[in-house]
Amino acid sequence: MPASAVSPALQQFVDDEMLRAPLLFDQLVEGTMDHARKALPALPPLQRSAIGDLMQALLQHQARLADYFMRSLEEQVRAELSQARPVQAGAAAKPAAKKPTTLALVDEDEVALDVELSHTIEAIKSTAEYELRELQAFVSALVGDLDVARDHNPFRAETWARAAWAAAQALPLSRGHQVAFLRHASTPLAQLLRRSYAAACSRLEGMGIEPASYRTMILPAGSRRGARPGETTFSPDLYRMRETMPAPMDSRLSYDGQLPDAGARRERWTDIARHTSNRVDRQAIELVSRLFDAMQADERVPRDVGLLISRLHGPAMRLTLRDGDMLDQDKHPLWRFVNRLAYEAEMAPDPDDPERVRLLKVAQATIDQLASEPEQTSALYKWANERLDGFLRQRLTRRLTAAASHVGALQKLEDKLAAGHTVPSTLHGMLDVPHLDTVPAELIPETPPTAPVPAEGAARDAWLDELQPGHWVRMFLQGRWVHAQLLWPGERREIWLFGDGASDATWAVRRAALALMREQGLLKGLKQRSIVGTAAARVQQQVSSGAAA
């Protein structure tokens, strides 16, 4: 891509790192062979023979592997930079081209690869955790992101791990040998990248780059993979919080007619509060108003969704005077509508996705009608939830209709599998996925995972059986984490069809593959995040800080 697409400083950094990548790969091959060589004495004869074949192939085809490695690295970095390309003022962003609908059959073989790939990524992140954080701050300074709102470093752990797997596929050996290469390469790759990241930070510092300030939390050893900084599962009780709210119209308080952040509010607090003499009601209105201010400031709420939610600011404050259950953040229909809207929009992050556009149009029309009602009641918001649920059911139906031919073929395949028939994974060419070889027995890990105890297996099966069409999950699939929606479980629940939340892609996954993913931590249920609860925690912190001051 042209250098003008990104800042010159970032482009220079990328070019510099790309020049050093071939040397790093040569060192990776040496480190991988050394790691495999040290493992040889403890291996049985069959495994020693397989590792010997792998080492010989590495020597003979190193140039080919390097070519695959560099090509993958260049493609990934180019794609990353194209996403970071700034949009000129006044120009509309060009909609991203939608991927054609494809169907990939995911079996245990492919999940075995994803397990190794995820282990490689985690090894890099754990070994080079400090260096990655430092480099993120430096690269953010290169692009002018002083708050480090996102990771602008195109050379993340995932990028290098996928490039290593691309190199492995250049080996003229079985898929099992290729997976073995990735397994033995993970440790030396992590160690090499730790030094590479540190050297990059030193070069940028030597060039006079001052790292951007960044928000981070140093956690105790072994707890680095936790919730995001500032996140908590604790959700304050709004009824108790109301008691701590100021009531600025009290005669004993000094009030000049202006409130903090008053300019950002859809309606001034006093326009609502002056109609009631009840101090508790005025405190409740103040609390609800602050909640909407906090939701508007939540960086994880997309801007278009935040603007829609902000239009409920005034109606919610009027509703507070009529509905005593307004402060039940878990059950009140207003808060359930807000949380569900933000959740469904987060599952479909592409702003140009037609389904996301439809979702926001429905939400906008619903909110317009809510705001126009002179009398605010909880029944209005129950209707809003029903309308949103109806749209989501229609969306699921539309996607199932688009995949109807796939569903029919998958049901036939499931029937054959249940009858004990062996069916090629390509479904006679219907599935756009190459045949995956089984990992040879001689290349299984030296320390295979222990089989789950019966109780764990039963819990895993129960979790799978609880999944219903429309449910969202987070899974590590084909080298990346995705939000996937269950579209269709087979009649025998042996084959499951999932749809990608960020594209039109679909995946048909065997039950055994799902069980393996769940066991390895690569398949997780998604719990709807409460942006109202997050806002309440932020307001409580602000009030506590103000009281302490």
Domain boundaries along the sequence of the chain = 3-85+116-206, 238-394+535-548, 402-525
Gap between the Cα atoms of 328 and 237, Å rounded: 8
Q: In what order do the strands lie in the sheet with 523-525?
A: 103-106, 506-510, 495-500, 480-489, 472-477, 523-525
Task: List all residues 6 or more positions away from 89 whose beta carbon is below 8 Å from its beta carbon.
Answer: none
Average pLDDT over residues 483-493: 93
pLDDT bin (cut points 50, 70, 90) of residue 154 is very high
Lowest model confidence (mean pLDDT) among 273-277, 333-337, 543-547: 273-277
| CATH class of segment(s) 402-525 | mainly beta
Which carries the bigger pLDDT value, residue 269 or residue 64? 64
pLDDT at residue number 213: 60
**Residue whose entry in the numeric block shows the structure tokens 């688009």:** 402
pLDDT at residue number 268: 56
Query: What is the residue-averaged pLDDT of the chain?
Result: 80
Gap between the Cα atoms of 414 and 81, Å rounded: 42
Average pLDDT over residues 117-136: 93
* Three-state SS sequence of 207-228: CCCCCCCCCCCCCCCCCCCCCC
pLDDT at residue number 480: 86
Task: List all residues 6 or more positions away from 135 whose beta carbon is below 8 Å from its beta carbon.
Answer: 153, 155, 197, 200, 201
Is the pLDDT at 87 greater than 80, yes or no? no
**Residue whose entry in the numeric block shows the structure tokens 């999932």:** 498
Q: What is the CA radius of gyration of the chain?
A: 27
- Residue 250 dihedral angles phi and psi, to the nearest 5°: -60, 135
Lowest model confidence (mean pLDDT) among 129-133, 445-449, 535-539: 445-449
pLDDT at residue number 215: 47
Is the pLDDT at 253 greater than 50, yes or no? no
The pTM of the full predicted model, rounded to 2 decimals, is 0.73
Gap between the Cα atoms of 125 and 190, Å rounded: 8
Residue 247 vs residues 12, 250, 328: alpha-carbon distances, Å:
56, 6, 21
Residue 243 vs residues 258, 261, 282: alpha-carbon distances, Å:
21, 21, 11
Residue type, 491: E
Cβ–Cβ < 8 Å for 106, 507: yes
Give me 105's structure tokens.
């059959």
Is the pLDDT at 270 greater than 70, yes or no? no
Beta partners for 532? Answer: none
pLDDT 10s digits, 280-330: 888 888 889 899 999 999 988 989 999 999 999 989 988 988 888 888 888
Classify residue 360 as left (phi > 0), alpha (psi -120 to 50) or beta.
alpha
pLDDT bin (cut points 50, 70, 90) of residue 421 is low
